[in-house]
A and B are shown apart, each in its own frame.
Chain A
Amino acid sequence: MAAGPLLALLLLAEPVAAKDTTPRTDTSCVSCHGQIDAEMVGALANDVHFQKGLSCHDCHGGNPASGIDDPALAHDKKKGWTGKPSRLQVPGLCARCHADAAFMKRFNPHLRVDQLSEYRTSVHGKKNAEGDPRPAICVDCHGVHGIRAVSDPRSSVYPTNLAPTCARCHASADVMKPYNLATNQYESYRTSVHAKALHDKGDLSAPTCNDCHGSHGAVPPGVGAVANVCGSCHGREATLFRETEAKKKMDLSLCIQCMVCHDNHAVQPPKPEMLGVGPQSTCTGCHSPGDPEYQMAADMANAAATLRERLATAKDTLDRAERAGMEVSADRFALQEGQNKLVEVRVLTHSFDRERFLAAAGEGTAVADGGIAAGRRAFRELRNRRLGLGVSLLVILAVITGLYLKLRQIEKA
């Protein structure tokens, strides 16, 4: 009898102490289905609906009264029994509660109630409405009988688990073939700096699929919306980019914007070589030698390279001075401002404004030059020490000579 321990397990489910929110373990559903499909019923212990007091009949209908042994009586159509809903019926079934604001307020006033209407704007939702049972429905992402709250780190849609959940379909050639969709997005994303931040470093502020594509209204951002989407975190870069449109009187809504230089899924940390006219540059994809923009890219890249070089020289000089025992911590701190300027310069790339870029790079280079000068000062001080040493050695030599001569004088006598 698997029901016994299963009941015990269900009783151990974390109950929310409210009058009508204790888990229902006494239903006829649980006592029969616990024996037929122990795994499914066992999963209910983790289900947030079950923990809040909802039970099988709240979704499937039927007569839950305990003690009923006869399936026909339990599966009573007059009591609303619907059996297993079809994939086309599921969104509407969930929305029966989740789109009802008054109902949801009883459980969690913070929850949104527009998921179904968002879903219907998505490709998944549109196709589902048209009668295609294959695209994702609620239970594909959230689970069906062991649904955890989204904020639960064990939930299949918690940020660190979301991408693999999407990849279950979107990385499968079989599932995507009828729709002619690529299946490399998860693989690409996994190599990105965002994935590394989220999955490897645990930075929950890093984006995963739903941060750019939306959760229920999942749709790739429209071509004109890419800068807005990236800009929801990378605000400065997006603002500068938008300013370019106005300043240069361009309509950038028809181009893929951020994705021209940075990928969409496999976003890597930007390399200095991306700016300029070298082999790995992203500028030369559109601009050819002779364009004014080509020259501007070259100038900007040179200014940035000079800044990086001088900062490296300054840091190296100060390191060597410090190894030689000189005081450089205040100079090192001043050099930090140069590092800040370098970050600012890299952001200003998105302004595509040569004067502004060169000005910031110039300020940074000035700081770096200050650091180099400080390092040279430290080495001058070191030379002074050696000079001092030389003088004192001469004095000691004089003393030794005097002592020696005195000794000779005494011993000759």
Chain B
Amino acid sequence: MSEGGRADAGPGLRGWLEERTGVSLILDLAHKKTVPLHRHTIWYYLGGMTLFLFTIQVATGILLLLYYRSSSDEAFESIQFIMTKVPFGWLIRSIHSWSANLLVFVLFVHMFSVFFLKAYRRPRELTWVTGALLLFVMLAFGFSGYLLPWNTLAFFATQVGTEVAGSVPGMGRFMLRFLRGGEHVTGGTLTRFYGIHVAVLPALTTALLLLHLLLVQRHGMSRPPGQNEGRTMPFVPNFLLRDCIGWCVALGLLAALAALFPWELGTKADPFAPAPAGIRPEWYFGWMFQTLKLLPGHVLGIEGELIGIFAFGVGGLLFVLAPFLDRSQEKRRVSLGFTVAGAIVIAYMAVMTVLVYLPGKP
């Protein structure tokens, strides 16, 4: 054994690795980690589930990009090729599409559970902030990925979405041109969205996710307000085995959805055709879309849509800064106001989402 290394790193392969990487430090931390046991423990599984689904996205995404072509001439056909000619291509593509939706859903539930359990309180404010930013990044993944098949619905949904971005006063025009790669949605938009989807956003995610997970390990699992002591469960193996069961269930669900409800391809986008009726963004943008539709044309001389966008902007900011706004820890009181606000937001989002899909005047 060389001098200067750890005196006794252990025998065999483990010892060899230990001497070079010091991996036992991490294993020790893992073995020491505990999870609080109480009636809300079940919500703790959601972070890991989100991570699992994101991993599925990365894996299936990498597989897809081995065959996908990001030009407007070939994008649609390349996905058709994947669905019909590549062995199990239908499975990889459908899992990627279904898992994306599941990921966003689980992410929202994770976020709301953290909110209602007040896990953002000091000293976990930065964990919340990185998590909030991750949520925006995941929504951006959804928006950019939606365009990639270059089908009619995606084309027009992107047109509407970037149009909304363009109506922000001041930087709106710049944002629209930046997103679209020009004045209109074209093949240039597709290439740009692809680059954003497979390079820019993954890079952002890597940084934010690393921070988020490090902070979670640093502070350990938070306890709900009023419960400062209590029973715990070892993370390894008890919580982890339960996590694995959850992940297996998710895997089975994805396989079933992919095989029984394969994701549709639609028709190839024709930029010169008129927009078909019933253009909608993905369901997780539905509530914002519905809000903008319901706002009156003008309110006190300002365009209704602008007010909506402004409200979303302010809402987003409040969302990211929530830990700093909740003064309850100073007052050592559970902030009922925040809980109620959160409940109202959920109810609003749910109702607006349902309204998008109700038949009747759009």
B and A form one assembly:
yes
Contacts of B241 in A (CB 8 A): 403, 406-407, 410
* In-complex Cβ contact of A404 among B84, B245, B259, B260 (8 A): B245
Residue A200 CB within 8 A of the other chain: no
Selected A-B contacts with CB under 8 Å, 29 pairs: A324-B262, A325-B83, A325-B262, A326-B84, A327-B83, A328-B84, A329-B84, A385-B90, A389-B255, A389-B256, A389-B260, A392-B252, A392-B255, A393-B252, A396-B248, A396-B249, A396-B251, A396-B255, A399-B248, A400-B248, A403-B244, A403-B248, A404-B245, A407-B237, A407-B241, A407-B242, A410-B237, A410-B241, A411-B238
A143: interface (CB < 8 Å): no
What's the nearest-Cβ distance from chain A to residue B255, in Å? 6
Closest Cβ neighbor of B264 among chain A residues? A323
Residue B85 is within 8 A (CB to CB) of chain A in the complex: yes
In the assembled complex, the Cα of A389 lies from the Cα of B253 at a distance in Å of 10
Q: CB-CB contacts of B114-129 with A at 8 A, as 1s and 0s?
A: 0000000000000000
Residues of B within 8 A of A260 (CB): none
The residues of B that contact A323 with a CB separation of less than 8 Å are: 264
A141 to chain B, nearest CB (A): 41
Q: How far is the CA of A323 from the CA of B90 in the complex (A)?
A: 12
Distance, CA A403 to CA B244, complexed state (A): 8
Q: In the complex, what residues of B have CB within 8 A of residue A389's CB?
A: 255-256, 259-260
Contact A396 B262 (CB under 8 A): no
Question: In the complex, A260→B114 CA distance in Å?
Answer: 82
Q: Is the CB of A385 within 8 A of B245?
A: no
List the A side residues contacting B264 at CB < 8 Å: 323
Interface residues in chain A, defined as those with a beta carbon under 8 Å from any beta carbon in chain B:
323-329, 385-386, 388-389, 392-393, 396-397, 399-400, 403-404, 406-407, 410-411
Min distance, Cβ A203 to any Cβ of chain B, angstroms:
23
Chain B minimum-CB-distance residue to A323: B264
Please name all residues of chain A whose beta carbon is closer than 8 Å to the beta carbon of B252 when the two chains form the complex: 392-393, 396-397
Closest-by-CB residue of A relative to B85 is: A327
User: How far does the Cβ of B306 sit from chain A's closest Cβ, in whole Å?
Assistant: 41
Measured CB to CB, the nearest residue on chain B to A389 is B259
Chain B contact residue count (CB 8 A cutoff):
21
Chain B residues whose CB sits within 8 angstroms of the CB of A326 once the complex forms: 84
Contact B248 A410 (CB under 8 A): no
- Indicate if the CB atoms of A388 and B259 lie closer than 8 Å: yes
Distance in angstroms from A385 CB to nearest chain B CB is 5
CB distance from B241 to the nearest CB of A (A): 5
Would you call B238 and A410 a contact (CB within 8 A)?
A: yes
Bound: A340/B256 CA distance, A: 41
* Chain A residues whose C-beta falls within 8 Å of the C-beta of B238 in the assembled complex: 407, 410-411
Q: Which residue of A lies closest to B91 (CB)?
A: A385
Q: Known contacts A325-B262, A406-B241, A410-B237; decide if A400 and B249 are in contact (CB<8 Å).
A: yes
Shortest C-beta distance, A358 to chain B (Å), equals 37
- Please, which residue of chain B has its CB at the minimum distance from the CB of A386? B259
Provide the residues of chain A in CB contact with B256, threshold 8 Å: 389, 393
Report the Cα distance A388→B259, complex, angstroms: 9
For the complex, give the distance between the alpha carbons of A400 and B256 in Å: 16
Contacts of B94 in A (CB 8 A): 325
CB neighbours of A324 from chain B (8 A):
262
Which residue on A lies nearest to B86, using beta carbons? A327
Nearest-neighbour CB distance to chain A for B159, whole angstroms, equals 26
Selected contact of B245 from candidates A327, A400, A411, CB within 8 Å: A400
Cα of A406 to Cα of B259 in the assembled complex, Å: 30
Which residues of chain A have C-beta atoms less than 8 A from B249's C-beta?
396, 400
Q: Which residue of B lies closest to A387 (CB)?
A: B259
The 0/1 profile, CB within 8 Å of A marked 1, for residues 249-274 of chain B is 10110011001101010000000000
Nearest 6 A/B pairs, CB to CB: A327-B84, A325-B262, A389-B259, A396-B252, A407-B241, A403-B245
A410 vs B251: C-alpha distance in the bound complex, in angstroms?
A: 24
- In the bound assembly, the distance between CA atoms of A389 and B261 in angstroms comes to 12
CA distance A324 to B249 in the complex (A): 24
Minimal beta-carbon separation of A365 from chain B (angstroms): 27
In angstroms, how far is the closest chain B Cβ from the Cβ of A405?
10
Chain A residues with Cβ below 8 Å from B260 are 386, 389
Shortest Cβ distance from B259 into A: residue: A389
12 extra interface residue pairs, beta carbon distance < 8 Å, beyond A323-B264, A386-B260: A325-B90, A385-B90, A386-B259, A389-B260, A392-B252, A393-B252, A396-B249, A396-B252, A396-B255, A399-B248, A406-B241, A407-B245
Closest to A408 in B: B241
Residues of B within 8 A of A328 (CB): 84
